[in-house]
């Protein structure tokens, strides 16, 4: 049967709109993939890999994608634009966290085992104490889509160093050249370092490290993000959260 060309075009457009809507609805509650807001922001979602304090991907992290509430993503885009003018970039380490991942963390902290690799992240605090001291929570702000873990990358620096599985790295409080490579500026500790040195205002870090932390906090604060004092890498956007979610992070299409 012959179809008018205009009718064919309309059918194709309608199909494309239907597919687009299906993709847009794949994330609930106003969530978006950060790459759809700003693909220039570097992502290294640690809990989708074995490069984290648990040593394996966490439950619900089926893809290394930063998922956030739309308002959060739009504000991060503004931060990134400001940093880009200084040859810097944000680097996302964790964004939305499925509630099941928080439960996974709590179970890990209570499993009765503690390996040398795990101690790199917790050099002075037993893992059984992490929940009581507020480093691990059964309900995380991350599950609302309004909390983030991130750092800064100097775009002029060489960040190509990869993790050597055969190397015995020092703990997260050691000098940058001795601990696990972060691919970012030297903030004084590695990411997820449960130690007083990881506190944002820790007095034990050097002036350059302190300057980087202040620079990150200031850049985020200009867009309304608040830092958590025990973790220089953790920020949240007041009022943008709400209910906690438990949908898994899937690959972006």
Measured in residues, the chain has a length of 253
Cα gap 59→48, rounded to integer Å: 9
146 three-class SS = coil
CA angle 3, 23, 74 (to 5 degrees): 125
23: annotated binding-site residue?
no
Among 71, 114, 182, 231, the active-site one is: 231
Catalytic, 231? Answer yes
149: annotated binding-site residue?
yes
> With contact defined as beta carbons under 8 Å apart, do 105 and 61 qualify?
no
**Residues in Cβ contact with 149 at an 8 Å cutoff, skipping those fewer than 6 apart:** 92, 93, 94, 95, 142, 191, 192, 231, 233, 234, 235
CB atoms within 10 A of CB 81: 11
**Residues in Cβ contact with 122 at an 8 Å cutoff, skipping those fewer than 6 apart:** 53, 130, 194, 195
Largest CA-CA distance found in the chain, in angstroms, rounded: 78
142: annotated binding-site residue?
yes
Residue numbers in the known binding site are: 142, 149, 234
Catalytic positions are: 231
The annotation places the binding site for Zn(2+) at 142, 149, 234
């Amino acid at each position: 049967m012959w179809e008018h060309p205009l009718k064919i075009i309309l059918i194709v457009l309608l199909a494309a709109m239907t597919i687009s809507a299906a993709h847009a609805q794949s994330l609930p509650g106003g969530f978006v993939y950060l790459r759809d807001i700003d693909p220039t922001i570097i992502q290294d979602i640690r809990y989708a890999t074995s490069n984290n304090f648990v040593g394996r991907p966490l439950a619900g992290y089926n893809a290394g994608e930063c998922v956030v509430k739309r308002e959060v993503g739009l504000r991060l885009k503004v931060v990134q634009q400001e940093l880009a003018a200084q040859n810097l970039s944000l680097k996302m380490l964790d964004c939305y966290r499925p509630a099941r991942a928080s439960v996974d963390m709590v179970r890990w902290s209570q499993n009765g085992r503690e390996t040398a690799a795990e101690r790199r992240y917790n050099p002075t605090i037993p893992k059984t104490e992490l929940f009581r001291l507020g480093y691990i929570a059964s309900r995380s702000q991350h599950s609302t889509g309004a909390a983030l873990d991130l750092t800064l990358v100097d775009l002029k620096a060489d960040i190509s160093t990869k993790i050597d599985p055969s190397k015995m790295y020092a703990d997260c409080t050691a000098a940058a050249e001795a601990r696990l490579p972060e691919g970012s500026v030297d903030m004084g500790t590695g990411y997820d370092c449960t130690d007083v040195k990881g506190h944002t205002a820790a007095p034990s870090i050097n002036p350059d490290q302190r300057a980087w932390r202040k620079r990150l906090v200031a850049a985020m604060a200009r867009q309304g993000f608040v830092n958590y004092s025990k973790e220089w890498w953790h920020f949240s956007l007041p009022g943008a959260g709400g209910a906690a979610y438990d949908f898994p992070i899937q690959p972006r299409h």
